[in-house]
Amino acid sequence: MNGRKLAGLLFLCVAGLALWAGYISIQTNETAGLPQAVQNTGVVDDVVVTQGDLSVNEPTSSKLPFKLPKSLEGTDIDGGFRVDEQGHLIVDKSIKRFMDYFLGTVGELSVEEIITNLETLVQGALAEPARTEAMTILRNYIDYKQGLVQLEQDIGEVNVLTLDAGQLGGMAERLRIIRETRVTFLGEDVANAFFGEEEAVDQYTLKKLQIVNNQDLTDAEKKEQLQGAEAMLPAHIKQQREQTQMYEQLTVREYELKSAGASAAEVYAARAEMVGDEAAQRLALLDAEREDFTRRLRAYRLEKKALDDTAMDQTDKTAALARLRQSHFSELEIRRVAALDRIGRE
């Protein structure tokens, strides 16, 4: 096996894990910051506004009483609000996702404009008492975000990938301060709903680093304590972690087989052994879909090059390119191809 290629493959796997559990949650640009909104490619079936006209399962452009900034055009609202039978707001992480979806456009809109838009949505979509409860959470969350800016400046940033053992005490103190800040601004119940899962991962990450860097422990003791630290994680995260590890092992095994010239049947057998026949069948179907897409993409690229080389004016060329994409790809694939064209990749 080519050691450099395998190292690159393993790096991608490790990088994926680092993004999941390697960074302390406050590292995800949660400051004034506010995370960048990305397109929600799925539908949140169990999170809907149950009062008023706004449904988070509908395209935003058809429901909102204001114009969306460019970065959100064509996307679906992420998250939303739910109420119980008594009309009270059900506090869960979908509320945070909903607010972050709009707060991610800071720069395109001012914070004041975003707050006004969010208040308009809450006022129009919810009846009392959920309306007042949601407005309180919204204002507290904005205050928390703004307070976090100063906190970040005071305590600095932490990246666990470059952390040494001497900094572990500082990380623990950092997590304590962040937790206290969240509870101060949001209250314990909302802080738990919004950040409880992330904080559990943070504490697990910290515990793991403390164990790994403990020179007084033998390898066997470290292994035992690391297994015990897994109990700190919520059950569904432990399941996701196990699936991620299985995926890494499968990815490396597939690379080894394909590099050795294994047949499709041999690859299928290895997959079936590791993840079962049903999953192996889905992966085989995915392989076929990828191969078909790659074939169509290459044919498209040849035709696109010929189009690019013509003396056609830019308006006609743009229209011709749109027709060319439609002749080769589905509507969803066209968005992917347009992105690939921009970065020049397959």
- 127 or 23: which leads in pLDDT: 127
Q: How many helices (H) and strands (E) does the chain have?
A: 12, 2
* pLDDT tens, residue by residue, 170-208: 888 888 999 999 999 999 999 999 999 889 888 888 888
* pLDDT tens, residue by residue, 61-102: 456 778 778 888 777 888 899 999 999 999 999 999 999 999
Instruction: Report the mean per-residue pLDDT for the chain.
Output: 78
The pLDDT score that the predictor gives to residue 45 is 32
Q: Is a pLDDT exceeding 90 seen at residue 136?
A: yes
The pLDDT score that the predictor gives to residue 297 is 93
Q: Percent of the chain having pLDDT more than 70?
A: 77
Q: Is a pLDDT exceeding 80 seen at residue 106?
A: yes
Rounded Cα distance, 207 and 209, in Å: 5
- What are the φ/ψ torsions at residue 156 (nearest 5 degrees)? 75, -175
What is the identity of the amino acid at 219? D
- One-character DSSP codes across 268-319: HHHHHHHH-HHHHHHHHHHHHHHHHHHHHHHHHHHHHHHHHTS---HHHHHH
Alpha helices in 164-263 (DSSP H): 168-186, 188-212, 219-229, 235-259
Rounded Cα distance, 136 and 128, in Å: 12
Of the pLDDT bands very low, low, confident and very high (cuts 50, 70, 90), residue 154 is low
- One-character DSSP codes across 149-188: HHHHHHH----GGG--GGGHHHHHHHHHHHHHHHHHHH-H
Q: Is a pLDDT exceeding 60 seen at residue 241?
A: yes
- What are the φ/ψ torsions at residue 89 (nearest 5 degrees)? -70, 135
The pLDDT score that the predictor gives to residue 157 is 60
